Structure 1
């Protein structure tokens, strides 16, 4: 097998074939016109045939040059793709999400890593429900959008859908929760001091907020869910976020009534730059997961 020509010389040929001019090729390659001419001459000597017709008004490819050009172009395209692919493998996508989303998002990302080990993802949780891409270096984020309407940005994951949840054993025995009045005998678990979620659900259920007698407050919805699963009270859960807990029997719904608040969880990326191909693929996959029935 004949020894392959030097890669720099092939790259010089590619650029010169695109320009058909030694001077412009030199400008793109940041070398002199003479250096381009010498590299092309050396490549032609190595190959044993001419690549360009030298004409008064410029250059034109010979028949051999025309045959070689598209293949060399393809080779350098493949090299560029390989370099980009290797870079993507080394740089995980950085995703931010509120802690309440972890019950839904973490299992999804674990599945994603099995499907696409070549696109690693690092997840950062926060008690804050927003993102400031000007100050935070994340590729994408899940945000809580409290109000409906056209001002929402990003891709819709799911709406907030509230319902009480508790440990399964609280639905059995002498103190079982069988009616709305039975709630008064249990501690109400709140993810915030304003009791907004419980007040909204009780209002739709036709129960006065005064039914809330014993309360325990937490910094996050996720922590309230954990305490509820331990049997230490009844929490207001989001049906979209606790599907796995219900399926695995860690939590149970004492009532069928669910209340749509108008809020939603959205998936967003930086508005100042176009998402990379791997990020677009991940975001589209997560949206598909959110719209697929469990």
Structure 2
């Protein structure tokens, strides 16, 4: 059954005019003419069958019935305004903000986001890049993916995947030299590394029981994705994190120059605030990302 309501524009004009008891002031607030306010009030009075204002030449005053109706309408508009604010806040909360290192974003996360969007089209994922560790407790973002240093109270850490080291190069670089059987042979090659991970080559050589006095001077890059791209372009051999270059291996853009995979003590974690864990979009993103890592194992 349709509600028997007066015109909503007339109600809005009356609610504003009743607060100030001034049609001119109400017209300015609603950005309409004073005549439009007068017509809306007359329309509402005709609908109700009663007078809401006493009109004089110089001003208008609410009648007793007008005061009662104005109070009821104001309360109704207050409830509408509150419900609108709540709904807008809920809509704003349908955003998940994640800031992370460029390599993890480009080599691992971004390619997976299409699957999340297909499952949760109403959640807007905002991805930004950081060159330093991200402090999620500051509240600027909801998540980061990184290797935790010292755990912080109030911060949740979910393990995504371990860091496994593998030396890789382009097919052209692979075929340009004899096959590498002894890890020490790599000491004569151009070694590529990320300045963010300066110890990865030494960790791999230590696991391979190679104790080099010094590495051959190679090339260093600001992040791992640049080092991986340099390897793809044939500049040398990069020490890669296996999970981050899996697509390049599958596509043949990179080849393992030696089969030894060294699992380090470090792992990548999804990092977020404990206090936000109950938000539906936060829980949905975390559960989905953890399921992605379980699927790929």
Identify whether the pair has TM-score above 0.5, normalized to the shorter chain. Answer: yes
Structure 1's consecutive aligned runs of 4 or more residues displaced over 6 angstroms after TM superposition are none
Verify the 8 A CA contact 1:187 1:234 in the aligned structure 2: yes
Deviations 1:89-111 (A, max 9, x none): 9x532111112212011101133
After TM superposition, the structure 1 = structure 2 runs for residues 110-129 of structure 1, keeping only pairs within 5 Å, are 110-129=114-133
Give structure 1 stretches of 5+ with no counterpart: 7-33, 40-75
Partner of 1:284: 287
Verify the 8 A CA contact 2:171 2:252 in the aligned structure 1: yes
CA distance in 2, matches of 1:193, 1:283: 26
Partner of 1:11: none
Verify the 8 A CA contact 2:136 2:142 in the aligned structure 1: no
In the alignment, structure 1 residue 154 sits paired with structure 2 residue 153: no
Partner of 1:106: 110
TM-score by length of 1: 0.66
Change (3 A) 1:176 1:289: same
284-293 or 186-195, larger mean C-alpha shift: 186-195
Change (3 A) 1:86 1:267: same
Partner of 2:192: 189
Change (3 A) 1:288 1:84: farther
Deviations 1:212-232 (A, max 9, x none): 212211111111111111110
Larger radius of gyration: 2
Change (3 A) 1:197 1:174: closer
C-alpha RMSD of matched pairs (Å) = 3.5
Verify the 8 A CA contact 1:147 1:262 in the aligned structure 2: no
Verify the 8 A CA contact 2:196 2:224 in the aligned structure 1: no
CA distance in 2, matches of 1:117, 1:285: 13
Change (3 A) 1:153 1:172: same
Verify the 8 A CA contact 1:146 1:263 in the aligned structure 2: no
Partner of 2:60: none
TM-score by length of 2: 0.65
Question: How many residues matched?
Answer: 226
